[in-house]
Structure 1
Amino acid sequence: MQEGVDWRFPADGPDAEAEEPNRTVTAGVTAEAVPQGNVAQQSGDQTPNPTGNLMKGEEESSVQDDEMITSVAEAVDPSLDLDPAAIPPLKRPGLEEPAEEDFSTMEELLQQEEYGMVQPRRGDVLIGRVISVASEGLLVDVGLKREGIVPAADLNRLDAKTRSNIKVGDEIPVYVLRTSDQDGNLILSVHRAQAETDWLRAQQMMEKEELWEGKVTGYNQGGLVVPFGRIRGFLPASQLVGFPRRLTGDARTARLAKLVGETLPLKIVEVDRRRRRLIFSHRAAWFEWKERQRQRLLEEIQEGEVRHGIVSSLRDFGAFVDLGGVDGLIHVSELSWERVEHPRDVLKVGDEIDVYVLNVDRASGRIGLSLKRLIPEPWSQVPEKYHVDQLVEGVVTRVTDFGVFVKLEEGVEGLIHRSELADIEPQRPRDLVKEGDLLLLRVIRVEPERRRIGLSLRQVSEEEWSQWAASYHGVEAPASADPAAEANEPTSDETP
C-alpha cells in the first residue's frame, strides 16, 4: 500500500463530494494499518509448492483476500462491523470452480449421461418397438442405449388375442415399472401401459363430459361392474335410472343381476388413479342419451317400416311404444281390426311387439304407429268369403235397441237388425240374446265397400238350427234351443 492513496466511494451525483466531504479519505493508509499477519503472509515464503496443489493455494489466497478486505474497510470506516464469513469469496477472473461430480463407476457415468438422452422414470408411458419375442417375454427398443424387457408374467395378463397380435417390429406403448433391476435392466409392462392409456382416456372423457355406452359384466350389493378398456369401472345403484331405492337384500341383488349383459348409456363422474377408482353415472347420461336417440331415430325412421318396440304406457286413447329412444303412439283404433274398448284389452306394459309406422312428423317429433296393419285387412277378403244366403256362425259382441252386433271373425262384424231376430219383432233385443251367445245366422246382405254384412236369425230354419247345434255340441239339440223359435211361440196371455 502507498501513502496518499485517494479512497473514494462512488458519488451519488455531481455535488455528492461537496455535500459529503467525509466520504473522501486523504489520510495515508500504510502497511501499519493492515494486520501484521497479512503482511507476513503476503511476504511469506515464496518457495514453490512441491506438491503442485493448486486448489490449496487458491484457498489460502482466498483467506488472505478476505482478511485484507476487512482490514481496509475498518480503516476506511471503523464503525463497520463486518464478519469475514459474511463476505462472499473473491473470485479471480478466468478461474471457475469445476462442478462437483462424483462418479464412482464408469457404469454410473454412462447411465447418467446416456449421451445426452432424457432418462425415463417409473410411471412413464413410452412408445417402443418390439425387437424380440420369446417365451421369456419381449425385448423392446425405447430409444435408449439399452433395451427394455417386458416379462412373460406381464404378457400373461393380456388377453390371448392381444398377445398373439404382438410381432417383431410392432410399435407398442409400454409402462416403466423399474428403471433398473439388479442386473441393470429396464423393466417394462404392456398391461400397465394399456391400463394407463385407459386412465388417461377416462380423465379426458370426464373433463369433456362425453357420453359413453358400456356393457354390464357383473354386480354386487352396491351396484354394477362395467369395464372401461382394461379398467374395472363401477356404477352405483343410486346412479341407475328407474332403480327402486327401497329395495334391499335378495330383491335388490336380483334386480341388479337382471342388468348383467345390458348396454347402458353412461358418463364418467370420478377418476382417481391413485385409489384406482372409476365411477360411472347412468342418471347423468340418461336425458342426453334419450335426446340423441330421438334425433337419430327421427332422421332414420320412414313411413311404411316395421319397427320393434316395447309398450311403455297405456292411456284411454292408445298405447305408447318405446322404439329405442323415442316413443310412438298406437291409437286405440289402430290396435285391432275389431272394436277395442281400452288398450289394456289388447296390450300390457312391457310387451315387446312389432309395429307398423303410419306417419312421422319430424317437426313435432311425433310418430304414429299401428298394430293392426301388420295383418291383412279382413274386409278385403270379405267378398271372397261371404255371400248372400250363406249360413255362418258368430258371437254376440253388443246388444243395442236397434239390433245385435255379431263377430264373424277377427275384424269383421255383422249386424242383426231387430226385425231379423224373430218373426215377431222383439221390443227389447236383449230379452232374446245376450253378449257372448254363439248363434247360427244367415247372410242376407254383403257390402264390403261400406264394411257391412246384414245377418238374420229368424231366416234360419228350425231344422238347420237343430242340425248345427247337434254337430256343434255333439248331442241332439231340442227345438227350443233356437232363440227365434222361442220368440215365435205365443205366451199364455196371447192364447185365444
Structure 2
Amino acid sequence: MNDTNSELLAALESADQIKVGDVVTGEVLAIDNDNQAVIGLHTGEEGVVPAREYSDDRSVNLADDLKVGDSIETVVVSNVTSDKEGVAYLLSKKRLEARKAWEKLSFAEGDVVDATVLNAVRGGLIVDVAGIRGFVPASMVAERFVSDLNQFKGQDIKAEVIEIDPAKARLILSRKAVAAQERAEKLQEAFSRLAVGEVVEGTVARLTDFGAFVDLGGVDGLVHVSEISHDRVKNPADVLSKGEKVNVKILALDTERGRISLSIKATQPGPWDEVAEKAPAGTVLEGTVKRVKDFGAFVEIFPGIEGLVHVSQISHKRVENPADVLKSGDKVKVQVLDVKPQEERISLSMKALEEKPANKREDHEDSNGASRADVAAYQQDDEGAATLGDLFGDKL
C-alpha cells in the first residue's frame, strides 16, 4: 500500500472515531435492568443513556418512553471503558437538549423569566428555564429566610436573570426581587378589598414564637400571640397548625408598612360575655390563685376569667403582704363583690366568707375600768338612779 492510500485510510478511520462532545445518532438496542438505554452507533460500537442523562425527572422509566428500534440523538459525555474491541460511551440526551437551548438563548441579564423548580438542594433551587438548567441561591429565593426549600419543588416561578455564562453553562437567577414586587401588587389588591372590622377566612401559613401568619389569598396577615385565644397562649404551635383554616377579624391595615393585623379571638365568644349572668354579686365560687401582687391576688374563677382579691379583702386580720398568706396555685373560695364585664374586671372577697370576729374595742374595758357594755347596760337600767358622774367621778 503506497503512502497516499495509507493517508486516505487513516483519514477515513479518523473520521469514524467518536470523540467526547460529538453529537451522535444511534438506534435503541435494548433497555436494561438498570433503566439504561443501550444504543447502537454507526461505528458498530455501543453507548448507554442512563435515566439520569435522559431526563431531569427522577422517576422516569425509559421503557415507557423508548422502544427497541427507535432512533435517538445524543451527545457523547465520556468513554466508559478502554476495551478497544468494544468501546462503550456514556451518552446524554438532556445535555444535548441543554446545548441546543443555549444556542437559542433568548434572554439576557436583568430579564425576568419563567422557570420550573426541578429540585431543592442545600444551597438553593435547581430550575429549568426554556431547557436551560439554572440555579437560584437560597438567599435569593424569597424576601425572608426559607427553612424548607422543598415546598418549591415542581412549582413554576418567575425569577430575574443575575448572571449568564454560556461557555460554562452557568445561569444564576434571583426570585427575591420578583417576589417583593409580586407581594407589593398583592398587598395593594388586598388593601382594596379588605376592611377593618371585617371577618374573613384564611389559612395558617407559618408559625413563630410571637404569633401566626395567615394567608388571606396571596398576602399574609399577622395574628399576634395575644390575639389567638381568650385563654393564655404561650406557644402558637400549641393551638394552631400550618395549613389550618381559620376565621380572622381585620384589626388594622397599615398601607405604609404593608402590614395586616388580624385577630382570631375577636371572632369567638369571649369569656366575659356571660360572666355577669354566671357570677352576679354575692355568688360564692372556688378559684385558683394565679398571681400574687403587693396590692392583692388574682384568682381565676372561670377559664380565662380572673378577679382581684384586694389585700383588704383577703382576711379580717390585717395583711401586710398578700404573699405571706397566698401563693400561686392555691385553691380558695371567694365571693363576688362587683362585676364589670365591659371593663373585664371583677372584684372578689375571701374575708366575706369568714366569720366576722367580735369587735374587740366594744368588748374591752375602757381606760377607767368600765366596759362599754357595762355602761350601756347601766344606762338602760329602769331605776337610773346613778349618773355617769357617779360611775367615773371627776375623771369624766
TM-score by length of 1: 0.42
Aligned to 1:224: 124
Structure with bigger helix share is 1
Q: 1:361 aligns with which of 242, 249, 253?
A: 253
CA distance in 2, matches of 1:332, 1:239: 29
Are residues 235 and 194 of structure 1, via their aligned partners in 2, closer, same or farther at CA, if it must alter by over 3 Å? Answer: same
CA contact (8 A) 1:237 1:243 kept: no
Aligned to 1:370: 263
The residue correspondences of 1:154-303 to structure 2 (distance < 5 A) are: 157=54, 195=98, 199=102, 203-207=105-109, 209-210=111-112, 212=114, 214-215=116-117, 217-219=119-121, 223-228=123-128, 230-236=131-137, 239=140, 258-262=148-152, 266-283=159-176, 285=178, 287-295=180-188, 297-298=190-191, 303=198
Q: 2:206 aligns with which of 293, 304, 310?
A: 310
CA distance in 2, matches of 1:431, 1:192: 80
CA distance in 1, matches of 2:127, 2:287: 62
1:281-309, Cα deviation, whole Å (9 max, x unpaired): 35554543543453455456663124324
Unmatched 5+ stretches in structure 1: 1-121, 124-133, 138-151, 167-173, 178-188, 245-254, 463-484
CA contact (8 A) 1:420 1:457 kept: yes
RMSD, aligned CA: 5.4
CA contact (8 A) 1:320 1:327 kept: no
Helix, strand or coil for the counterpart of 2:149? coil
CA contact (8 A) 1:211 1:289 kept: no
CA contact (8 A) 1:216 1:224 kept: no
Helix, strand or coil for the counterpart of 2:168? coil
1:415-449, Cα deviation, whole Å (9 max, x unpaired): 32444322345455444434553322233555545
CA contact (8 A) 2:337 2:347 kept: yes
CA contact (8 A) 2:292 2:326 kept: no
Shift of 1:210: 1.0
Shift of 1:389: 3.0
Helix, strand or coil for the counterpart of 1:376? coil
Aligned to 1:394: 288
CA contact (8 A) 1:399 1:434 kept: no
Identity among equivalent positions (%) equals 25
Are residues 155 and 422 of structure 1, via their aligned partners in 2, closer, same or farther at CA, if it must alter by over 3 Å? Answer: closer
Shift of 1:226: 1.0
Amino acid at match of 2:253: D
Shift of 1:228: 0.6
Shift of 1:211: 5.4
CA distance in 1, matches of 2:103, 2:49: 20
Aligned to 1:440: 333
Q: How many residues align?
A: 285
Taking CA–CA contacts closer than 8 Å with sequence separation of 6 or more, which of the two structures ends up with the larger relative contact order? Answer: 2
CA distance in 2, matches of 1:266, 1:346: 35
CA contact (8 A) 1:214 1:266 kept: no
Amino acid at match of 1:396: K
Aligned to 2:83: none
CA contact (8 A) 1:421 1:457 kept: yes
Shift of 1:279: 2.2
Are residues 414 and 176 of structure 1, via their aligned partners in 2, closer, same or farther at CA, if it must alter by over 3 Å? Answer: closer
Helix, strand or coil for the counterpart of 2:272? helix
Structure with bigger strand share is 2
Unmatched 5+ stretches in structure 2: 1-21, 31-46, 67-71, 76-91, 366-396
Are residues 331 and 372 of structure 1, via their aligned partners in 2, closer, same or farther at CA, if it must alter by over 3 Å? Answer: same
CA distance in 2, matches of 1:385, 1:320: 33
Are residues 362 and 451 of structure 1, via their aligned partners in 2, closer, same or farther at CA, if it must alter by over 3 Å? Answer: closer
1:9-40, Cα deviation, whole Å (9 max, x unpaired): xxxxxxxxxxxxxxxxxxxxxxxxxxxxxxxx
Are residues 162 and 306 of structure 1, via their aligned partners in 2, closer, same or farther at CA, if it must alter by over 3 Å? Answer: farther
